[in-house]
């Protein structure tokens, strides 16, 4: 494993938490000037390894070498001093102070004892320019998009800590295609400069686009490190999951074979439904027992459509019929009464109550329907919770586990359960599989198909086309806040991409 | 360019609104009561509200970090009572004044440390500080203690005539507030401490991960506010030449209202001491107008401040929404 190009060499790292072995004898080598993907299912040990590299956790056994010197990383600050910087998915910068301050503060140039603003702004501007980004650094950071904020975070890591190692923890999960391309350009520039990048992501496409090598972890143990060129996709997935590949394929076949006879009864009928500034007027029909896929890039109006259908916002044009009845008052309460449910995109902020248990989160949904003053006895609560934990395959030691302690995929299932107890007739899923591992994705897709079999209608919004194509009966494509096409399920990924990009 | 202009108007909108409201209030007052047209009426705002400005500056810092400090009135009263008592038994002003400043700073640092190390809500810790300090003031003396110290008397009674304005004057302690304001502006905009204070108020966790000394900054901000409260206490006792535990009851809420009117968000991270100056001038102007009127109850001050604060919060959230749309 040892080679002269290695920046970080991790040997035989193990880490156990009470009750679980998070990492077992893991080896990992990061070379100078390479982009190295760290992959694995949720719970594979990626985050534990990263926490060890950033000094948040201490390993139980094993050694870490930085440029061939044995080191012990004591704290995140210490990691930064050593030249190991991390940029997290949730950006750890302050949005109220200027871009320049976010980059330079801590190393700010001074004049007469005070901050030399002119020089500070110029230094920050230069630092960004080196990454090919030009912007007004005197504006507050909050003025800029998440993508720009991420680049600013990277710039800070490079400027302040003069990072040799940059860890990017799922940086792309909230970026759209253009923003991702921009980030990749920056990553390539850094790679040229000899910086080693550890890149954590769930997107296979991105791995094959930018990564040089990949290290795969499974259930806390080391599976292997590979040159990406020598590792076909299927094998990568197989190594990550082993068991699930077959399931994924079975699912695809299931869909092809199933050929459910779609119900002709209309559940939802929208005519000219729109809201100026958010969504151009569009027509939409959803039948009973049908999966309607919504494809579109970030900002194409997909979440806006979801909030209109759920009544979070009121349209200013058109009509919406649910079951042939016109909706006049748009509010979530009204929608829930009519049997419409929405699982929002941002589950942490909008969906779950992390400090409550699984049981309490699921019961919350029922309470919404029964009214706040009806008491549901504990035995009934337990029954319901058990039923849905089993039905959705939520992996937890007990229904009383706090939701915040679950993995992303399991949290998503809890939200689903919360809506399923209310037995909705239309379930709107906005990015239900974002940020969860491939295995959990397959389970959620399977669940969606089972639900429609029982006569539920589902609106499935996802930025992963494969997924949309696989499970939808019909697919509506949105672009620039307008509906541009309506396909049946036989459409190919390629046609969809062309439509979304506006080529067709 | 127009986009930049728009952005800058958006950013400074709340401050500009505060200044406009102050000017309007003052002009209306001056139309109603010609006595307010004299320059002296304007300088009186500073003479009468100097102690509020001093506390307001410290309070702005605390609120910028996302905290709150209810102890200020207590520390002010304690300072007046303690300095009056010490001066009475013969200590010199040169000893008493620095001692009071050290005491105020120490109380502030103590409260800040409890907030930081024990992770307790600032509201409850500083409420405790308020009870503690005001209680101590009453232990020192149950009645008002008069100050006869010659230095205090000199400071209280010597007018400084203002250049350019005939017969307009202020007193020496009146200068303290404006000078402190300059220091505060420097601290807020030209030191790392000040910038970290802003960053901290926006997102404490992020500020910590960016490697900033979050705890130290927080404790220092409360220490600074303790210093300001003691300084305000000294100015207050000079102007009344007395010390008493009952002085300035409820001043913490007046100050918080002024800070909010000045455009500082209670959630932290946004605001300025300049805004606070105008917030306090607005309160002062309303009081003046009511005094010149003479027939209205002084409680109208509270009603006006309440209404203005409410209006101001509305304007602020309006700006916030527009900013998001841009």
Asked if residue B258 is part of any domain, the answer here is: no
Asked if residue A296 is part of any domain, the answer here is: yes
pLDDT band at A257 (very low <50, low <70, confident <90, very high): very low
Of A91, A97, A114, Cβ closest to residue B186: A114
pLDDT band at A370 (very low <50, low <70, confident <90, very high): low
Q: Which of B160, B143, B173 is nearest to B52 (CA)?
A: B173
pLDDT at position A374, please? 67
Instruction: Give the best residue of B11, B192, B208, B213 to mutate against chain A (max A CB count within 10 A).
Output: B192
Q: Do both A40 and A130 map to the same domain?
A: yes
- Using a pLDDT cut of 70, give the percent of chain A over it: 86
Instruction: Give the best residue of B187, B210, B267, B272 to mutate against chain A (max A CB count within 10 A).
Output: B210
Asked if residue B255 is part of any domain, the answer here is: no
Q: Which of B174, B134, B122, B172 is nearest to B151 (CA)?
A: B172
DSSP for A364-378, written as a single string: HHHHHHH-TT----H
Residue B243, chain A, CB below 8 Å: the answer is no
B199 and A97 in contact by Cβ < 8 A? yes
Among chain A residues, CA nearest to B197: A97
pLDDT at position A3, please? 64
Distance CA B51, CA B145 (A): 19
B7 and A115 in contact by Cβ < 8 A? no
Chain A residues lying within 8 Å of B3, measured CB to CB: none
User: A143 vs chain B: nearest CA distance in angstroms?
Assistant: 8
Domain CATH code at residue A86:
3.40.50.300
CA-based angle B170:B175:B177, to the nearest 5? Answer: 125
B210 and A92 in contact by Cβ < 8 A? yes
pLDDT band at A1 (very low <50, low <70, confident <90, very high): very low
Which residues fall within 8 angstroms of residue A42, CB to CB, at 6 or more apart?
A407, A408, A409, A436, A437, A440
Residue B214, chain A, CB below 8 Å: the answer is no
CA B37 to chain centre: 26
Please compute the mean of the pLDDT values over residues A109-114 and round it to a whole number.
Answer: 84
Asked if residue B1 is part of any domain, the answer here is: no
Asked if residue A346 is part of any domain, the answer here is: no
Chain A residues lying within 8 Å of B196, measured CB to CB: 105
Pairing of strands A279-287, A20-31: unpaired
Distance CA B239, CA A388 (A): 71
Asked if residue A345 is part of any domain, the answer here is: no
Chain A residues lying within 8 Å of B195, measured CB to CB: 97, 101, 105, 108, 115
Among chain B residues, CA nearest to A86: B209
pLDDT at position A249, please? 54
Q: How many CB pairs under 8 A join A and B?
A: 64
User: A29 vs chain B: nearest CA distance in angstroms?
Assistant: 26
> Is residue B283 classed exposed, middle or buried when 0-12, 13-18 and 19+ CB atoms within 10 A define those classes?
buried
Q: How many domains does chain B have?
A: 1
Q: What is the pLDDT of residues A51-65, one digit of tens each?
A: 899 888 889 999 998
Q: Do both A144 and A188 map to the same domain?
A: yes
Per-residue pLDDT at A298 exceeds 70? no
Q: How many CB atoms lie within 10 A of CB A159?
A: 19
pLDDT at position A365, please? 73
Of A77, A91, A115, Cβ closest to residue B211: A77
Instruction: Give the best residue of B269, B272, B319, B320 to mutate against chain A (max A CB count within 10 A).
Output: B269
Per-residue pLDDT at A221 exceeds 70? yes
Q: How many domains does chain A have?
A: 3
A106 and B203 in contact by Cβ < 8 A? no
Q: Do both A436 and A419 map to the same domain?
A: no
Instruction: Give the best residue of B190, B201, B265, B267 to mutate against chain A (max A CB count within 10 A).
Output: B190
Per-residue pLDDT at A252 exceeds 70? no
Q: Do both A318 and A466 map to the same domain?
A: yes
Asked if residue A347 is part of any domain, the answer here is: no
Q: Do both A123 and A223 map to the same domain?
A: yes
User: B86 vs chain A: nearest CA distance in angstroms?
Assistant: 38
Pairing of strands B169-171, A482-488: unpaired
The pTM score is 0.72
Asked if residue A1 is part of any domain, the answer here is: no
Residue B207, chain A, CB below 8 Å: the answer is yes
Instruction: Give the best residue of A78, A96, A154 to mutate against chain B (max B CB count within 10 A).
Output: A96
pLDDT at position B22, please? 93
Asked if residue B153 is part of any domain, the answer here is: yes
Q: Do both A408 and A490 map to the same domain?
A: no
Q: What is the pLDDT of residues A422-459, one digit of tens each?
A: 888 899 988 887 666 677 777 788 888 888 888 889 99
Q: Are B42 and B174 in contact (CB under 8 A)?
A: no
Q: Name the more confident of A229 and A411.
A: A229
Instruction: Give the best residue of B66, B195, B215, B322 to mutate against chain A (max A CB count within 10 A).
Output: B195
User: B319 vs chain A: nearest CA distance in angstroms?
Assistant: 14
Q: Do both A183 and A52 map to the same domain?
A: yes
User: B203 vs chain A: nearest CA distance in angstroms?
Assistant: 6
Residue B6, chain A, CB below 8 Å: the answer is no
Q: Are A430 and A292 in contact (CB under 8 A)?
A: no
Give the three-state DSSP class for A432. Answer: coil
Asked if residue A491 is part of any domain, the answer here is: yes
Asked if residue B37 is part of any domain, the answer here is: no
User: A82 vs chain B: nearest CA distance in angstroms?
Assistant: 14
User: B64 vs chain A: nearest CA distance in angstroms?
Assistant: 11
Q: Which of A136, A145, A64, A134 is nearest to A98 (CA)?
A: A136
pLDDT at position B194, please? 94
Residue B270, chain A, CB below 8 Å: the answer is yes
B210 and A115 in contact by Cβ < 8 A? no
Distance CA A423, CA A428 (A): 13
Chain A residues lying within 8 Å of B186, measured CB to CB: 114
Q: Do both A38 and A183 map to the same domain?
A: yes
A114 and B207 in contact by Cβ < 8 A? no
Question: What per-residue string of b and e applies to A255-290 under the rule 16 or more CB within 10 Å gives b?
Answer: beeeeeebeeebbbbbeebbbeebbbbbebbbbbbb
User: A96 vs chain B: nearest CA distance in angstroms?
Assistant: 6
Asked if residue B123 is part of any domain, the answer here is: yes
pLDDT at position A256, please? 44
Q: Are A290 and A457 in contact (CB under 8 A)?
A: yes
What 3 state SS string does chain B have?
A: CHHHHHHHHHHHHHHHHHHHHHHHHHHHHHHHCHHHHCHHHHHHHHHHHHHHHHHHHHHHHHHHCCCCCCCHHHHHHHHHHHHHHHHHCCCCHHHHHHHHHHHHHHHHHHHHHHHHHCCCCHHHHHHHHHHHHHHHHHHHCCCCEECCCHHHHHHHHCEEECCCCCCCEEEHHHHHHHHHHHHHHHHHHHCHHHHHHHHHHHCHHHHHHCCCCHHHHHHHHHHHHHHHHHHHHHHHHHHHCEECCCCCCCHHHHHHHHHHHCCCCCCCCCCCHHHHHHHHHHHHHHHHHHHHHCCCCCCHHHHHHHHHHHHHHHHHHHHHHHHHHC
Residue B189, chain A, CB below 8 Å: the answer is yes
Q: Do both A56 and A81 map to the same domain?
A: yes
> Is residue B307 classed exposed, middle or buried when 0-12, 13-18 and 19+ CB atoms within 10 A define those classes?
exposed
Q: Which of A6-20, A244-258, A487-501, B89-103 has the least mean pLDDT?
A: A244-258
Q: Do both A80 and A70 map to the same domain?
A: yes
Examine the fold and report which residue of A369, A398, A423 is the final residue of a domain before the chain moves on: A423
Residue B210, chain A, CB below 8 Å: the answer is yes
User: B288 vs chain A: nearest CA distance in angstroms?
Assistant: 36
Of B11, B186, B192, Cβ closest to residue A108: B192
Asked if residue B219 is part of any domain, the answer here is: yes
Asked if residue B297 is part of any domain, the answer here is: no
Please compute the mean of the pLDDT values over residues A398-414 and round it to a whole number.
Answer: 76
Q: What is the pLDDT of residues A481-490, one digit of tens each?
A: 888 888 887 7
User: A94 vs chain B: nearest CA distance in angstroms?
Assistant: 6
Backbone φ/ψ region at A62: left (φ over 0), alpha (ψ -120 to 50), beta: left
A101 and B212 in contact by Cβ < 8 A? no
Residue A183 CA neighbour count, 13 Å, CB half? 29
Q: What is the pLDDT of residues A137-160, one digit of tens each?
A: 988 888 887 778 888 888 888 877
Please compute the mean of the pLDDT values over residues A357-379 and round it to a whole number.
Answer: 74
pLDDT at position A42, please? 61
pLDDT band at A502 (very low <50, low <70, confident <90, very high): low
CA B213 to chain centre: 25
Q: Which of A3, A35, A1, A33 is nearest to A212 (CA)?
A: A35
Q: Which domain holds residue B96?
A: 46-248
What 3 state SS string does A260-288 have?
A: CCCCCCEEEEEEEEEECCCEEEEEEEEEC
B209 and A91 in contact by Cβ < 8 A? no
User: B150 vs chain A: nearest CA distance in angstroms?
Assistant: 38
Q: Are A36 and A211 in contact (CB under 8 A)?
A: yes
Per-residue pLDDT at A479 exceeds 90? no
Examine the fold and report which residue of A224, A247, A270 is the final residue of a domain before the chain moves on: A247
Q: Do both A21 and A42 map to the same domain?
A: yes
Pairing of strands A266-275, A221-227: unpaired
Per-position pLDDT tens, chain B of length 326: 566 677 677 777 788 888 998 999 999 999 999 888 888 999 999 999 999 999 999 999 999 999 999 999 999 999 999 999 999 998 988 999 999 999 999 999 999 999 999 999 999 999 999 999 999 999 998 889 999 888 999 998 888 888 888 788 899 899 999 999 999 999 999 999 999 999 999 988 888 878 788 899 999 999 999 999 999 999 999 999 999 988 988 899 999 999 999 989 888 888 999 999 999 999 999 888 888 887 878 788 888 888 888 888 888 777 777 665 55
Longest dimension (CA), chain B: 65
* β partners of residue A37: A199, A214
Residue B196, chain A, CB below 8 Å: the answer is yes
Chain B residues lying within 8 Å of A105, measured CB to CB: 192, 195-196, 199, 210, 212
Q: Are A396 and A443 in contact (CB under 8 A)?
A: no
Examine the fold and report which residue of A222, A247, A272 is the final residue of a domain before the chain moves on: A247
Q: Which domain holds residue A206?
A: 6-247
Chain B residues lying within 8 Å of A106, measured CB to CB: 192, 210-212
Asked if residue A312 is part of any domain, the answer here is: yes
Q: Do both A221 and A335 map to the same domain?
A: no
């Amino acid at each position: 494993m040892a080679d002269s190009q290695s920046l970080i060499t991790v040997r035989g790292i193990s880490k156990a938490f009470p009750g679980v072995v998070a990492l077992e004898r893991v080896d990992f080598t990061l070379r100078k000037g390479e982009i190295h993907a760290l992959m694995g299912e949720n719970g594979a040990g990626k985050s534990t390894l990263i926490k060890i590299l950033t000094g948040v956790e201490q390993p139980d056994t094993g050694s870490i070498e930085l440029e061939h010197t044995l080191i012990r990383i004591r704290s995140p600050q210490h990691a930064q001093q050593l030249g190991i910087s991390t940029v997290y998915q949730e950006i750890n910068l302050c949005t109220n102070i200027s871009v320049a301050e976010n980059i330079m503060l801590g190393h700010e140039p001074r004049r007469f004892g005070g901050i030399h603003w002119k020089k500070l702004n110029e230094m920050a501007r230069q630092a960004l320019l080196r990454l090919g980004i030009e912007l007004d650094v005197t504006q507050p950071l909050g003025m800029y998009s998440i993508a720009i904020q991420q680049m600013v975070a990277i710039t800070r890591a490079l400027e302040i800590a003069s990072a040799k190692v940059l860890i990017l923890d799922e940086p792309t999960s909230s970026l759209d295609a253009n923003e991702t391309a921009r980030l990749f350009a920056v990553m390539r520039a850094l790679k040229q400069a000899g910086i080693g990048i550890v890149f954590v992501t769930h997107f296979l496409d991105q791995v094959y686009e930018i990564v040089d090598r990949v290290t795969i972890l499974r259930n806390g143990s080391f599976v292997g490190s590979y040159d990406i060129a020598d590792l076909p996709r299927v094998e990568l997935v197989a190594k990550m999951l082993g068991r699930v590949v077959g399931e994924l394929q079975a699912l695809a076949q299931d869909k092809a074979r199933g050929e459910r006879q779609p119900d002709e009864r209309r559940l939802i009928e929208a005519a000219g439904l729109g809201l100026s500034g958010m969504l151009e007027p569009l027509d939409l029909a959803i039948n009973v027992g049908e999966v309607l896929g919504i494809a579109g890039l970030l900002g194409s109006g997909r979440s806006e459509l979801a909030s209109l259908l759920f009544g979070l916002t009121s349209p200013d044009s058109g009509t919406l019929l649910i079951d042939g009845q016109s909706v006049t008052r748009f509010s979530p309460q009204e929608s829930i009464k009519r049997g419409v449910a929405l699982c929002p995109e941002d589950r942490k902020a909008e969906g779950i109550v992390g400090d409550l248990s699984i049981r309490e989160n699921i019961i919350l949904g029922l309470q919404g329907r029964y009214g706040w003053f009806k008491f549901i006895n504990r035995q009934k609560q337990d029954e319901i919770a058990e039923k849905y934990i089993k039905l959705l395959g939520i992996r937890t030691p007990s229904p009383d586990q706090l939701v915040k302690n679950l993995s992303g995929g399991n949290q998503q299932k809890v939200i689903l359960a919360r809506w399923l107890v209310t037995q909705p007739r239309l379930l709107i899923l906005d990015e239900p599989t974002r940020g969860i591992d491939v295995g959990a994705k397959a389970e959620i897709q399977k669940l969606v198909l089972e639900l429609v079999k029982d006569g539920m209608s589902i609106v499935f919004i996802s930025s992963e086309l494969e997924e949309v194509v696989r499970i939808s009966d019909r697919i509506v494509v949105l672009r620039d806040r307008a509906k541009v096409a309506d396909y049946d399920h036989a459409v190919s990924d390629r046609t969809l991409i062309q439509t979304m990009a506006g080529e067709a | 360019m127009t986009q930049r202009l728009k952005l800058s108007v958006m950013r400074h909108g709340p401050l500009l609104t505060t200044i406009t409201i102050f000017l309007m209030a003052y002009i209306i007052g001056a139309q109603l009561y010609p006595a307010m047209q004299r320059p002296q009426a304007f300088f009186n705002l500073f003479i009468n509200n100097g102690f509020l400005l001093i506390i307001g500056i410290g309070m702005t810092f605390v609120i910028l970090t996302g905290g709150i400090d209810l102890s200020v009135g207590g520390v002010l009263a304690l300072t007046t009572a303690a300095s009056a008592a010490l001066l009475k038994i013969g200590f010199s002003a040169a000893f008493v004044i620095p001692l009071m400043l050290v005491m105020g700073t120490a109380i502030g640092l103590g409260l800040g440390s409890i907030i930081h190390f024990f992770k307790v809500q600032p509201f409850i810790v500083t409420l405790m500080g308020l009870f503690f300090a005001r209680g101590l003031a009453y232990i020192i003396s149950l009645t008002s203690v008069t100050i006869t110290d010659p230095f205090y008397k000199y400071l209280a009674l010597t007018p400084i005539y203002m250049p350019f304005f005939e017969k307009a004057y202020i007193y020496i302690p009146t200068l303290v507030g404006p000078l402190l304001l300059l220091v505060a502006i420097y601290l807020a905009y030209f030191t790392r401490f000040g910038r970290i204070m802003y960053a901290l108020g926006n997102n404490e966790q992020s500020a910590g991960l960016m490697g900033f000394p979050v705890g130290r900054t927080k404790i220092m901000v409360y220490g600074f506010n303790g210093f300001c409260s003691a300084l305000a206490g000294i100015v207050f006792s000079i102007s009344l030449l007395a010390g008493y535990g009952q002085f300035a009851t409820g001043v913490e809420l007046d100050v918080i209202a002024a800070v909010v009117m000045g455009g500082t968000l209670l959630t932290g991270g946004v605001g300025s001491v300049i805004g606070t100056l105008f917030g306090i001038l607005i309160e002062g102007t309303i009081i003046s107008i009511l005094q010149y009127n003479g027939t209205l109850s002084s409680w109208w001050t509270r009603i006006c401040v309440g209404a203005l604060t409410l209006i101001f919060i509305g304007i602020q959230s309006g700006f916030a929404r527009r900013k998001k749309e841009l």
